[in-house]
Amino acid sequence: MAAPDFSAEQASASRRPLIMRYAARSDVGRVRAKNDDSAYVGRHLAVVADGMGGHAGGDVASAATILDMIHLDHDRYEGDAATVLADEIQTANSLLSELVHINPKLAGMGTTVTALLLAEGKLHIAHIGDSRAYRLRNGEFEQVSVDHTFVQRLIDEGRLRPEEAETHPHKNVLMRVLGDVDASPELDVDTLDVQPGERWLLCSDGLNYVAGHVVERMVRETKDLRECVEILVDLTLEAGAPDNVTIVMLDIAEQTPDDVRTAAVDIVPAHAAPAAPAAPQTTGSTYSAQPASNDGSPASAVTDPAEDAARTPVPDATAAGGTEGDEQKSASAATDPHLGEHLSAAVLREELSTRPHELVGAAATAAESGSIPAIAGRTVARRAATVLTHKSEQARDDVEYYRPAARPRRWLTASVAAALVALLGLGLWLGYAWTQTRYYIGEQDQRVAIFNGVSQRLGPIQLSTLEMVTDIRMSDLPEFSQQRVRQTVPARDLYDAQRIVKNLEETGTTAPATACVTSSPAATPTGSPASAGATAPPQATAEPGASGPAQPTASPAPSPTCEVAK
Examine the domain organization and report whether 379 and 504 are in the same domain: no
Residue 375 covered by a domain: yes
Residue 236, domain CATH: 3.60.40.10
Short-list 227, 178, 235, 170, CA closest to 208: 235
Examine the domain organization and report whether 496 and 370 are in the same domain: no
With 0-12 / 13-18 / 19 or more C-beta atoms within 10 angstroms meaning exposed / middle / buried, residue 415 is exposed
CA distances in angstroms from 161 to 53, 66, 165, 169, listed in the order given: 29, 34, 7, 14
Sheet of 18-27, strands arranged across: 18-27, 245-254, 199-203, 132-137, 140-143
pLDDT score for 343? 56
pLDDT score for 260? 53
- Picking from 474, 490, 515, the residue at the C-terminal end of a domain is 515
How many independent structural domains does the chain possess?
2
Q: Mean pLDDT per 10-residue run, the chain (566 residues)?
A: 45 73 97 95 97 80 93 88 93 90 88 96 95 96 94 86 76 84 88 96 95 96 97 97 96 86 38 35 35 35 34 33 39 38 70 89 90 59 44 40 50 85 86 82 90 80 85 87 87 87 84 49 41 42 43 44 39
Examine the domain organization and report whether 169 and 312 are in the same domain: yes
pLDDT score for 516? 46
Examine the domain organization and report whether 173 and 122 are in the same domain: yes
Examine the domain organization and report whether 146 and 243 are in the same domain: yes
d(CA 134, CA 76): 25
pLDDT score for 212? 93
Examine the domain organization and report whether 214 and 276 are in the same domain: yes
Residue 166 covered by a domain: yes
Spatial CB neighbours of 147, under 8 Å, sequence gap ≥ 6:
129, 130, 132
CA distances in angstroms from 272 to 267, 314, 319, 386, listed in the order given: 12, 17, 20, 11
Examine the domain organization and report whether 447 and 354 are in the same domain: no
Residue 566 covered by a domain: no
Q: How many CA atoms lie within 13 A of 116 on its CB side?
A: 34
Residue 502 covered by a domain: yes
DSSP label at residue 457:
E
Whether 443 contacts 486, CB under 8 Å: yes
* Predicted TM-score of the model (pTM): 0.55
Examine the domain organization and report whether 137 and 188 are in the same domain: yes
d(CA 244, CA 66): 16
d(CA 26, CA 32): 13
Examine the domain organization and report whether 275 and 342 are in the same domain: yes
Residue 534 covered by a domain: no
Residue 324 covered by a domain: yes
Range of the domain at 215: 14-407
pLDDT score for 476? 86
Examine the domain organization and report whether 446 and 350 are in the same domain: no
Examine the domain organization and report whether 452 and 311 are in the same domain: no
CA distances in angstroms from 440 to 309, 486, 492, 512, 535, listed in the order given: 62, 11, 8, 16, 30
- Picking from 407, 430, 447, the residue at the C-terminal end of a domain is 407
Examine the domain organization and report whether 480 and 331 are in the same domain: no
